């Protein structure tokens, strides 16, 4: 497979709404495989297709090593609770902000073979699902941040 270039903040593709996947074919599977390689190389938690220059409703999440979740045409169907946590993004290196996200979410999506499924997430997984599905609608985490962290605050948290 291949490691793809991650699109950085300022590129207009990150602000575009993605189109649904309608054909579950080898091209879709190759995209998912390449996104996985890219995510692992970048040491990230999640990656959405527009972050690698593809305007399709595809994202992947791996909160725990070896537990990759592939979401095609994801739709959040339930959410509850709330959490306020520090969030960052592979497309916005070096910037972090505090966001409000649901504590729990349920998402309906399709797998690489076109089968519908649902997955529930709590804590970090819920936050990652929201973050990546936002990317599919052209929303970047700092659009929802209640406060961006200063460089000093980031360095302080690294020292702890």
Sign of CA dihedral 121, 9, 72, 28: negative
Active site residue 132: yes
Q: Which residues are within 8 A (CB) of 118 and not within 5 positions of it... i.e. 6 or more apart? A: 77, 106, 107, 108, 109
The one catalytic residue in 62, 70, 87, 132 is 132
Task: State the DSSP H helix or E strand holding residue 48, giving kind and residue range, or none if neither.
Answer: strand 46-48
**Beta carbons of 14 and 51 less than 8 angstroms apart:** yes
N residues, the chain? 160
HEC string of 9-66 equals CCCHHHHCCCECCCCCCHHHHHHHHHHHHHHHHHCCCEEEHHHHCCCECEEEECCCCC
Catalytic residues: 132
């Amino acid at each position: 497979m291949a490691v793809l270039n991650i699109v950085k903040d300022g590129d207009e593709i990150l602000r575009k709404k993605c189109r649904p996947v309608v054909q579950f074919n080898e091209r879709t599977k190759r995209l998912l495989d390449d996104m996985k390689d890219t995510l692992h190389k970048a040491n990230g938690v999640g990656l959405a297709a527009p972050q690698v220059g593809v305007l399709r409703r595809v994202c992947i999440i791996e909160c725990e090593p070896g537990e990759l979740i592939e979401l095609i045409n994801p739709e959040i169907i339930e959410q509850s609770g709330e959490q306020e946590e520090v969030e960052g993004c592979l497309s916005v290196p070096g910037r972090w902000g505090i966001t409000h996200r649901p504590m729990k979410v349920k998402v309906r999506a399709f797998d690489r073979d076109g089968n519908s499924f649902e997955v529930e997430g709590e804590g970090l997984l819920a936050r990652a699902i929201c973050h990546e599905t936002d990317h599919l609608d052209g929303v970047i985490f700092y659009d929802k941040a209640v406060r961006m962290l200063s460089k000093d605050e980031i360095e302080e948290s690294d020292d702890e």
